[in-house]
Amino acid sequence: MNNRQLFLSHLAQTTDFPLLIEIEKAEGIYMYGPEGRKYIDLISGIGVSNVGHRHPKVIGAIQEQLDKYLHLMVYGEYVQSPQAQLAKALSDTLPEQLDNVYLVNSGSEAVEGALKLAKRYTGRREIISCVNAYHGSSHGSLSVGGNEIFKRAYRPLLPGITNIPFGELDFLDSITKDTAAVIMETVQGEAGIRVATQEYFSALRKRCDETGTLLILDEIQAGFGRTGKFWAFEHYGIAPDIIVCAKGMGGGMPIGAFVAPQEIMAVFKNNPLLGHISTFGGHPVSSAAALATIKVLKEENLVEAVEAKAEQIKGLLQHPKIKGIRNKGLMMAVEFESFEVLKPIIDRAIELGVITDWFLFCEDSMRIAPPLTITEEEISAACTLILQAIEENA
């Protein structure tokens, strides 16, 4: 059996229509398949390869760590240099009070940890999240998700969760003194790139402060420079009480974190109640890769360049079939009339060598989230191919 047959018969499938693209190597913004096929990865493995595939400094850091040790002991027991250095570097990107880092392996796990921390710290049981939010696929993170179709089959989920519409001021009074936390994506990703106003975030912060509710911002997709600031909340001049991150963090390696002030995180060490435990959280190789990723984002000024690149894409992707482009930096959704119009365009673009996608909860829009390292020429080439795919389906 060839790899494609093995994939179909032995790997658990999550859709009836897998893309079935075979990749043998990936570097920068490019992925390479058999027989010389070359693709531009315009979605960064869904918001992961912010510094491009196999960035030499990330690879170097991984190799250096491989020569030292792999796994030693469950998270938080041994002093491991990559974890300690990463925790410091990560807190340095955040407001001063967010100085305590819990390292995990993925976005869903970061959300799980943050929710437990909020309940434990406040002693409250209720959580508020948003309609059409996506926070992960594990039971807890799915419970705070905001799409009923995805949740229905798995009920009963966590109790005490209310979904409010994202960005609508009128619903902020649902946050009360019984609310342990509000969890929200700073920019909604899977909803199809939805942004809220400055006024909304200021009012949200104020309401959380008034009620003693913790504000958890999910920057798993929006963080690590994707929106043109290192963290998307920086656009709104507010700060969360807990931030969750993953995806782009490891430069292609699995790692995530939830970060909170020392005072909040300290509740996890109050015995005899079990705090939070992870065997592999902050794996040394992933931590070394994440540390290198932060350095690359800074040294190469990638975050500062995001806005100009987004504007270039918006300028180039003009076509009567495109109804509009929603974006926050390089987190972009190109809107078409319907999924039926969009699907053949995405398929044709892949044949032409450009990989885009749609969104879990928004099927009429094309996902564009290239590596932040993409150049002007590469943007131009990718957009020309997308326009060709649109034209051929017109």
- Over the window 148 to 177, marking each residue x when it contacts ligand PMP by CB under 6 A and - when it does not, the resulting string is ------------------------------
Q: Least distance to ligand PMP from the beta carbon of 265, Å?
A: 20
With CB under 6 A as the contact rule, the residue among 134, 233, 268, 359 that binds ligand PMP is 134
Which residue in 50, 80, 93, 108 binds ligand PMP (CB under 6 A)?
108
> Shortest Cβ distance from residue 391 to ligand PMP (Å)?
31
Measured distance CA(328)–CA(194) in Å, rounded: 9
Phi/psi-derived region of residue 52, left when phi > 0, alpha when psi is between -120 and 50, beta in every other case:
left
Applying the rule CB under 6 A, the residues between 242 and 271 that interact with ligand PMP are 246
Q: Is 186 in the site for ligand PMP (CB under 6 A)?
A: no
Min dist. Cβ of residue 222 to ligand PMP (A): 7
Q: Which is nearer to ligand PMP, 31 or 331 (CB)?
A: 331
- Name which of 48 and 354 has its Cβ closer to ligand PMP: 48
Closest residue to ligand PMP in the complex (CB): 107
Minimal distance, residue 175 CB to ligand PMP, in Å = 20
Binding-site size, ligand PMP (CB under 6 A): 13
Cα–Cα distance, 284 to 386 (Å, whole number): 39
Q: Is the peptide bond before 344 cis (omega within 30 degrees of 0)?
A: no
Q: Is 136 in the site for ligand PMP (CB under 6 A)?
A: yes
Distance CA(141)–CA(105), nearest Å, equals 14
> Which residue of 99, 126, 218, 241 would you call a contact of ligand PMP, by CB under 6 A?
218
Smallest distance, Å, CB 35 to ligand PMP? Answer: 31
Question: Contact positions toward ligand PMP, by CB under 6 A?
Answer: 106-108, 111, 134-136, 185, 189, 218, 220-221, 246
